[in-house]
Amino acid sequence: MILYDAQRHIFHLQTEEFSYVMQILEDGQLIHRYFGQRVNYFGDHPLVLLNRSFSPNPTASDRTYSLDTQLLEYSTNGLGDFRESAIAVSYEDGSSLDLRYRQHRIYKGKKALAGLPSSYGDDDQVESLEIDLYDDYLDLTVTLFYSLFPETNMLAKSVKVRAGQRAVCLEKVLSLSLDLPDSAYQVHTLNGRYAQEKLWTISELRQGKFSIESRRGASGHAQTPFIALADEQVTEDSGQVYSAHLIYSGNFVAFAEVNQLEMTRLGIGINDYHFRWRLEAGEEFQTPEALLSYTNRGFSGMTQTSHHFIRKHILSGKYKEKTRPILVNNWEATYFQFTEQKILELAEVASQAGIEMLVLDDGWFGHRDDDNSSLGDWFLYQAKLPNGLAHLVQKVNEKGLDFGLWFEPEMISEDSNLYRQHPDWAIQMAGRSHRFGREQLVLDLTKPEVCDYIVKSVTAVLESANISYVKWDMNRNITNPSDDLANDVKQEFYHRYMLGLYDILERLTKAFPEVLFESCSGGGGRYDLGMLCYMPQTWTSDNTDAISRLSIQEGTSLIYPTLTMGAHVSAVPNHQVGRLTPLETRGHVAMMGNLGFELDLTKLSTQDLSGIKEQVKTYKAIRDTIQLGDFYRLSTKSENEKAYCQVSSNRDQAVLTYVKILAQPESPISRIKLKGLDPDACYDCDLLGRSYYGDELMRIGLDMPLIQQDYQSVQYLFNKKRGENL
Ligand code: GLA
């Protein structure tokens, strides 16, 4: 609910769980008053007005009021708030911004953001507020957009800047800035590197600034556009967590700054690194959207809120909240060395095992036998697949499998027809030589003709055969940003690249609504909400080792639904880390996400093949629960053990996955308590040959078996007993 108290000039945004309060002061400043656990009414809480040294006052006669000491809703540069501002501008004769309230609008529903991905909802699910702030001297309007999802406990925020009569340069413009009166928090982020993405990282907050960012032209493997502040005493099930996401896939920054008065400012938005956007008179700039939430139900509360919201208001199209096929991908099975016959053999065994789709990965186009050539040439490698793509797809379909195909459309190889015809389509900075990544260059998506080429060439392939799935990869980051420096004040390249990319994705996903799109960037190098708005799943990591995957998948699922998370069983020794893990453990770990296989099924022993058949069968019986249910991290005695529970939305089924990493002598007992079950229902567990009530499983727990070997796991399925109880 969005309430406006016209007498006291107070906005109160209320969901089931939180309240967000702002107030317009007499001088037109928009002050932030409160964000936290829901209150029914925000009464007469006076501002803290104190005379403080070195905090400048807008009025000479009143030494108690300073922007430096207030909680500000959207802070500006140059006029007395010394923290990191939300927006900064420069113009002919100055560089400050004085924003005052002008008007506001409240309405049902939510507008889409022009050119950018954003959350969405029906008129009965979301309500919006727009507040126009105005700078008299610059004739500049800043509109703050708030869209409140009362049931899913989310506030979407974005900002639009509109130049009036005068031109200005935006030096910085965040999507969200939030001031909190306290600083006793820890910062939670998802950090990592290639093949080890999204490690859940906790950092201390001190006076000064903590920040994460990307300057790569993609959100990156190393950082995720997400930041949370949690009470120092927070637990999995209780305590306050404030969390913010950015719906954006390019350069971003997220920070938490503590000032001299131990107040905290949290911010997230486009990175101001290599960013300067010039607005001529009458022009507008729209920021990406940020999502803000609060819970006092600990990390589990944050995870549930985030998963539900993303599934309902970010994912879209046919596969939104729809289960995904079990696939086999040929990458780790063959790499570039495959023939039609080999792919059909793989499809044959996959079909016998009950697998539902075959994905042909890199190497089917141009003359690509390794990663040195052909990106940009999206036509079939005839010598490799002489009977054509449509023929191959038909043969695979005849075996009862759908067919998926890999692309890397944003890239160009020097050794490609495309480069020979259009060398200027690769991003290039005047006077500088190319920088290579995997021997490839990035196409300049700021050029409309390049975007059109990508749409046209991918369309032609998708129309040429019965293709049900696309893996959209991106395997290097941007260098040499080629801003047109005729007007040397602009640094717009990185954001214009993203606008080009989003335009392509919008066009292709609309044109092929039946196709399931999966995004990838060497695994999770662009696993963010911007991509998820178009492509409802992501290849989580190039690291397919079950043990490495535990932390990668745990970090990923901290905020992203398991429905979006590709997880494959691969061969041993594992290709990334050389580890030998049992097939069972590989299956159990992969079954916590969207299950696939990425190994040469034709070379398996009879025993392993029947193991895989069993995994496919089991997964089909639990797929709804895994993909569409609720996900819980369970408490274990140490980091040497991991336990998770996935529960169907009607609480009829639960899957407990327990992994013990290293064997220990005299191993301590591991009693695991489940979560999310119906306490009064009785559940059967076939593997244990027993039944338990939900309350027993959640309150007493289950003792895990003692297995004296490394990398062991168990998976218990609990199905609600029908009819009679115990
Ligand atoms: C990236 C992807 C892999 C595979 C290769 C193909 O690394 O993450 O899954 O598709 O490219 O070159």
Catalytic residue among 362, 402, 473, 630: 473
Rounded to an integer, what distance in angstroms lies between the CA atom of residue 592 and that of residue 614? 16
Contact 401, 343 (CB under 8 A): no
Please tell me the predicted confidence (pLDDT) of residue 723.
63
* Ligand 1 atom nearest to 406, measured from its CA: 10
Query: Using CA positions, which residue lies closest to atom 11 of ligand 1?
Result: 522
C-alpha torsion 536→538→331→367, nearest 10? 70
Pocket of ligand 1 (CB under 6 A): 331, 361-362, 406, 473, 475, 520, 522-523, 539, 542
Q: Is 483 a catalytic residue?
A: no
Which helix (H) or strand (E) segment holds residue 332: the answer is: helix 331-334
Q: Which of 362, 408, 575 to mutate to test the pocket of ligand 1 (most atoms within 8 A of CB)?
A: 362
Query: Using CA positions, which residue lies closest to atom 6 of ligand 1?
Result: 362
Q: Which of 374, 439, 475, 549 to mutate to test the pocket of ligand 1 (most atoms within 8 A of CB)?
A: 475
Please tell me the predicted confidence (pLDDT) of residue 610.
98
* Ligand 1 atom nearest to 471, measured from its CA: 10
- DSSP class of residue 112 equals P
- DSSP class of residue 376 equals T
The Å distance, Cα 338 to ligand 1 centre, comes to 15
Q: Which of 197, 331, 413, 552 to mutate to test the pocket of ligand 1 (most atoms within 8 A of CB)?
A: 331
The Å distance, Cα 688 to ligand 1 centre, comes to 40
- DSSP class of residue 700 equals I
Contact 4, 11 (CB under 8 A): yes
Rounded to an integer, what distance in angstroms lies between the CA atom of residue 340 and that of residue 266? 54
pTM, entire model? 0.98
* Ligand 1 atom nearest to 361, measured from its CA: 10
Rounded to an integer, what distance in angstroms lies between the CA atom of residue 439 and that of residue 355? 34
Q: How do residues 681-692 score in pLDDT, each as one tens digit?
A: 999 999 999 999
The Å distance, Cα 523 to ligand 1 centre, comes to 7
Catalytic residue among 377, 483, 528, 542: 542
Please tell me the predicted confidence (pLDDT) of residue 485.
60
Long-range contact list for 380-386, CB < 8 A, 24+ apart?
A: 384/338, 384/339, 384/340, 385/339, 385/340, 386/340
Percentage helix, strand, coil for the chain under 3-state DSSP, each rounded to 5: 20, 35, 45
C-alpha torsion 194→451→175→306, nearest 10? -60
| DSSP 3-state of 306 | helix
Query: 385 phi and psi, to 5 degrees?
Result: -125, 70
Contact 277, 490 (CB under 8 A): yes
C-alpha gyration radius of the chain: 27
The Å distance, Cα 408 to ligand 1 centre, comes to 9
Which helix (H) or strand (E) segment holds residue 241: the answer is: strand 241-247
Query: Using CA positions, which residue lies closest to atom 3 of ligand 1?
Result: 522
Rounded to an integer, what distance in angstroms lies between the CA atom of residue 205 and that of residue 185? 6
Q: CB neighbours (10 Å) of residue 49? A: 13
Query: Using CA positions, which residue lies closest to atom 2 of ligand 1?
Result: 522
Rounded to an integer, what distance in angstroms lies between the CA atom of residue 677 and that of residue 702? 14
The Å distance, Cα 362 to ligand 1 centre, comes to 7
Query: Using CA positions, which residue lies closest to atom 1 of ligand 1?
Result: 522
Q: Which of 338, 361, 365 to mutate to test the pocket of ligand 1 (most atoms within 8 A of CB)?
A: 361
Query: 99 phi and psi, to 5 degrees?
Result: -95, 130
* Region of residue 610 (phi > 0: left; psi between -120 and 50: alpha; otherwise: beta): alpha
C-alpha torsion 540→542→545→549, nearest 10? -30
Check the CA dihedral 659-661-667-672 and report its sign. negative
Domains, the chain, in order of start with CATH, read 2-313 (2.70.98.60), 327-410+450-476+512-624 (3.20.20.70), 641-720 (2.60.40.1180)
The Å distance, Cα 544 to ligand 1 centre, comes to 12
Selection from 480, 35, 405 nearest residue 229 by Cα: 35
Q: Is 686 a catalytic residue?
A: no
Contacts of 419 (CB under 8 A, 6+ apart): 376, 412, 413, 425, 426, 441
- Count the residues in the chain: 726
Please tell me the predicted confidence (pLDDT) of residue 328.
99
Please tell me the predicted confidence (pLDDT) of residue 726.
47
The per-residue DSSP string of 593-652 comes to SEEEEES-GGG--HHHHHHHHHHHHHHHHHHHHHHHSEEEEE--SSTTEEEEEEE-TTSS
- Largest Cα separation within the chain, whole Å, is 87
Quote the tokens at residue 157. 């925020």
Query: Using CA positions, which residue lies closest to atom 12 of ligand 1?
Result: 362
The Å distance, Cα 522 to ligand 1 centre, comes to 5
Given a cut of 50, the residues of the chain with pLDDT beneath it are: 726
As beta bridge partners, residue 653 has 719
The Å distance, Cα 259 to ligand 1 centre, comes to 44
Query: Using CA positions, which residue lies closest to atom 7 of ligand 1?
Result: 522
Q: How do residues 606-638 score in pLDDT, each as one tens digit?
A: 999 999 999 999 999 999 999 999 999 999 999
Q: CB neighbours (10 Å) of residue 428? A: 18
The per-residue DSSP string of 145-198 comes to EEEEETTTTEEEEEEEEEE-SS-EEEEEEEEEEEEES---EEEEEEEEETTEEE
Please name the amino acid found at residue 609. L
